[in-house]
Chain A
Amino acid sequence: MMKDMTIGQFYNTDSVIHRLDPRVKVIFTLIYVMSLFFSRNPVLYVAAFAVLVFYIKLSKVPISFIMKGLKALGMIILFTVVINLFTVQGAKTLVEWHFIRITDAGLKSAIYLGLRLCFMIIGSSMMTYTTTPNALTDGLEKMLGWMKKIHVPVHEFAMIMAIALRFVPILVDELDKIMKAQMARGVDFKEGNLMARLKKLVPIIIPLFVSAVRRSNELALAMDARCYHGGEGRTKMKPLQYKRNDRIAYVFVMIYLVMMIAIAIHF
């Protein structure tokens, strides 16, 4: 199951989008997601779809990879859509069966919501597909740098995020090892009712927790040994600097924003 989770992963390839400054991508993603809420006009959705297709094409991330990520959240999308379909009530009834009543407004609302969710998920996961976790962290740290003035530990948060990203695969591996070791001691995870199964998690969660604490202790020591002393006076190997392409990208983002506002007002 873990293998099918493509959401939040980085898709390693070289493209114009991959090379963009992470800040551009963060801002575009925010604007894109916001624009989906501007209006419920079909023209707006067509435009958003066209831009998304163009974005994906440029990024060279295969459609199959993106669809796999969407599929992982399929149940949630479906659930939301179905709830909407049944609960939003309009004037014209399309289907009626016992207590279920689907109206034109419900159908419309469900379709828009479904599209909006899909666009939102794809749009925002494009950011993680094309940006390494580190670049993303760097980008956020720099964008939120002004918050340091009001004593928000932005650097520390960024460091925590970067380290978490590094250790997630290690802990997933460890989890797998611990599960196997306990299976070798006769645990059958597929057996028993819900309570029994929950109880079987104890011999897995505790060693994993102990290991995480041990690892973090050792890592803290190793960071000390390498002269880490917070963000003060720290330089960067790869400082973020806007290049020509980033400026061009910003122009496109602005054009997109203006276009979407125009659509929302005019139609």
Chain B
Amino acid sequence: MDIRKKLIDIKNVTFEYFRRDAEGNVQDMVEALKDVSLEVEEGQFIAILGRNGSGKSTLAKHINALLFPSEGEVIIDGMSTEEEENHLLIRQTAGMVFQNPDNQIVGNLVEEDVAFGPENLGVPTADIWNRVDAALNETGMEKLRNQSPNHLSGGQKQRVAIAGVLAMHPKCIIFDEATAMLDPQGRKNMITVAKRLQEENGITVILITHHMDEVLAADQVFVMKDGHVVAQGAPELIFTQKTLLEECGLCLPVFYQYMEQMHQDGILTDRMCSRIHTEQDLLACLKEVYTQERTGDSAGKDETIDKAFLDYPTDGVGKSKEGLLLNHVSYIYNKGYADERKALDDVSLHIGKGEFVAVIGHTGSGKSTLMQHLNGLYLPTEGNVYYDGQDITDADFSMKELRQKVGLVFQYPEYQLFAETVEKDVCFGPENMDISRVEAQKRAYEAIEAVGLPDTIYDSSPLQLSGGQKRRVAMAGILAMQPEYLVLDEPTAGLDPYSAKAILQMLKDLQQKQGIGIVLVSHSMEEVAEYADRIIVMDQGRKCMDGPVWAVYNQLYRLEKLGLSVPVGNRILVTLRQMGYSVNTQINRMEDIFAELARWKSLMGKQV
């Protein structure tokens, strides 16, 4: 039996820092970590979970000797971070991949960036080349080695960052929310690479995240809240502590929630549940237990029925109809240049007042270009855009009014805040319209209330707020213009599940109570299933599906072909239908699917 070595030993660490006001006076002292103890053995896959601001990143920076405890001790591979001469060795032993892909790449070429670490360590030239070759190979980036990092996708940049750490021959890699800014595909690839490094190269992995579906592969999970470690253990063990997780602002993986519900309904037994570790397991288990004799080929037939719902009429809509209408719109970037690229290709669609529409598709499928057509930031190369029946390129059309009526919230909108107080920033939009100052302020107050922020916030500096609050302020800045439509590019990106849910619920309220039309660009299929009524699927600049959420999600094969995933709930329903059960597949919200599963079970009970 091999006795595993203790690689990381964190003993009763407390970390305090002073929070200062604008003049540099100490306001209060923040305890980011309180008496944290944690041990990691060599070769383990560890996950640290927690909300934004729970102290998990602060903890990570202690392992890498970037921060030092106020009290307690951190020992990495037998070296204490207290001794300054250990720092370089510790940083080499425990490498770190950060959240923002752009801000950790130093080199102007991929291979030169990977070499940065070894160069700092004074590795001889020939050996640097060997290390870089190996690291690029390991992360699958060798083909792009002579590219500029600026030409890579977020996921690729993060893999370059991993390669940069690998080239330093570390024993441990810390992923400090390294997946937070990636799309689902990029996230999945990252986790796969991390898992492989642990299994094949014996590298200890410490994954810091707020996505619980990423920790399924972990040996050991630590849950943090307000600077404390509140729970630790194997993922299965952590998942059973549902109330504690909710208190920590975390959210169980969706398939797990379904499994629990189906367990309660008596659809799944204890024994079955203990074998289910992934979404695939759950579906396979259902198939195994509930397959009936008379399974027909009803699957194909049903999909054709659903297809009837899919092509939303646009040509028939008539240009005079109110709402936003795109009529055969194409958009070409850099027309006439060598790098000409068609971003939108003959897209027609209509968005009515008060709708909640989600736009999904891969990075680069044309979603962002599409949303910027809705408020005239881009004008179509071909085709027309109509607002309430009027062509927005008409000479007498007021672009200013369009920008006001169609509010656009970009990704990470908090980066556009600029004023010294929240109030002034939110007033900026209305003040650009021709209304009085008092009216502008009134609208700002209403908007701040609508996004669920307290009125004590008016005079705070936007820079001092938490991430979730900043985002709300940025949204209030758009809402204060009193738009009829709100177009949002991934409004939940980088937020923890709790904050993300709150933002989405706020959008739903705006739609239902104020009748504001919502266009939500999203990568999260689950989030779309829960909140949207209609989905537009984009692929390579074309609109390839447009219909009610359930109808789109019943197209398992078509979506899979596009590389998009279908939420577990709809997969369960479709699987049951394919097995010949008559379940209602025209639903998509978790609550409705829970009810339908319960109904199905009770009917089956009667049959037997």
Contact = CB atoms under 8 A, between A and B. Distances in A.
**Does A associate with B in a complex?**
yes
Contact of B122 (A174, A210, A235, A239): A235
Interface stretch (B241-249, B413-421, B447-455): B413-421
Interface in A163-194: 163, 165-166, 169-170, 174, 177-178, 180-188
A228 B116 contact: yes
A177 B122 CA distance: 40
B121 interface: yes
B30 interface: no
Contacts of A218: 98, 100, 103-104
A187 B432 contact: yes
Nearest to A227: B120
A186 B483 CA distance: 12
A204 B164 CA distance: 34
B256 interface: no
B464 to A, nearest CB: 12
B111 A3 contact: no
Given A166-B149, A206-B418, A227-B92, A185 B122 contact: no
Interface string B118-160: 1111111100110010000000000000000110000000000
A13 interface: no
Interface in B212-256: none
Interface string B409-436: 0100101111100000000110011000
B410 A235 contact: no
Nearest to A191: B400
A178 B415 contact: yes
A237 B129 contact: yes
Contact of A237 (B66, B106, B119, B477): B119
A226 B91 CA distance: 7
Given A225-B66, A237-B115, A239-B125, A219 B103 contact: yes
B44 interface: no
Given A186-B481, A234-B119, A210 B463 contact: yes
A187 B477 CA distance: 13
Contact of B404 (A186, A207, A224): A186
Most chain B CB neighbours (cut-off 10 Å) among A174, A185, A211: A185
Q: Which of A166, A206, A236 has the most CB of B within 10 A?
A: A166
B552 interface: no
Interface string A213-256: 00100110111111111000111111100000000000000000
A158 to B, nearest CB: 12
Nearest to B129: A237
Contacts of A177: 410, 415-416
B494 interface: no
Contacts of B165: 226
User: What band does the interface of chain A fall in when counting residues whose beta carbon is under 8 Å from B?
Assistant: 35 or more
B108 A186 contact: no
A162 interface: yes
Nearest to A180: B377
A153 interface: no
Contacts of A169: 150
A221 B64 CA distance: 10
B102 interface: yes
A89 interface: no
B108 A182 contact: no
B351 interface: no
Contacts of B410: 177, 180-181, 184
A213 to B, nearest CB: 10
| Secondary structure dominating the interface of A | helix
A100 interface: no
Contact of A134 (B109, B122, B149, B407): B109
A156 to B, nearest CB: 14
Given A226-B164, A235-B125, A239-B125, A185 B91 contact: no
A109 interface: no
B91 A224 contact: yes
Given A162-B108, A237-B132, A203 B102 contact: no
B372 interface: yes
A133 B108 contact: yes
A207 B419 CA distance: 9
Nearest to A165: B108
A227 B150 contact: no
Nearest to A200: B432
B112 A237 contact: yes
B125 A237 contact: yes
Nearest to B418: A206
B418 A202 contact: yes
Contacts of A162: 106, 108
A234 B122 contact: yes
A226 B413 CA distance: 30
A221 B66 contact: yes
Contacts of A180: 372, 377, 410
A29 interface: no
- Which 6 pairs across A and B sit closest by C-beta, in order of nearness? A186-B432, A222-B104, A237-B115, A218-B103, A184-B408, A206-B418
15 contacts: A134-B107, A163-B106, A185-B477, A186-B429, A186-B433, A204-B418, A211-B415, A218-B104, A221-B66, A221-B98, A223-B116, A225-B95, A225-B98, A226-B164, A227-B117
Interface of A: 3, 132-134, 162-163, 165-166, 169-170, 174, 177-178, 180-188, 202-204, 206-207, 210-211, 215, 218-219, 221-229, 233-239
